[in-house]
Amino acid sequence: MSKLLRLDPIACDGHGLCAELFPERIRLDDWGFPIVDQRSIPPALEEHARRAVADCPKIALRLVTARTVPGER
């Protein structure tokens, strides 16, 4: 099952560590806050995503299982 990264923008303080650990799916805005790519995480990058989640100092990132909605692809 595919995984997605989710950000809690209220908890995030903009440390930027997540973007350093997972630049394939996270970039920083002009103020240093993460912009998370909404595409699913391929298996080859899942370990990198898990590390970014685990090392987030504010526990603002999480990795969730993608759910398909009927009629969506």
More confident residue, 48 or 66: 48
pLDDT digits (tens, 9 = 90+) for 3-58: 999 999 999 999 999 999 999 999 999 999 999 999 999 999 999 999 999 999 99
- Using pLDDT thresholds of 50, 70 and 90, give the confidence band for residue 1: confident
Q: How many CB atoms lie within 10 A of CB 19?
A: 20
Sketch the domain layout of the chain as residue ranges.
Answer: 3-65
The answer to whether the beta carbons of residues 61 and 7 sit under 8 Å apart is yes
- CATH of region 3-65: 3.30.70.20
The answer to whether the beta carbons of residues 12 and 36 sit under 8 Å apart is no
- Using pLDDT thresholds of 50, 70 and 90, give the confidence band for residue 67: confident
At position 4, the amino acid (one-letter code) is L
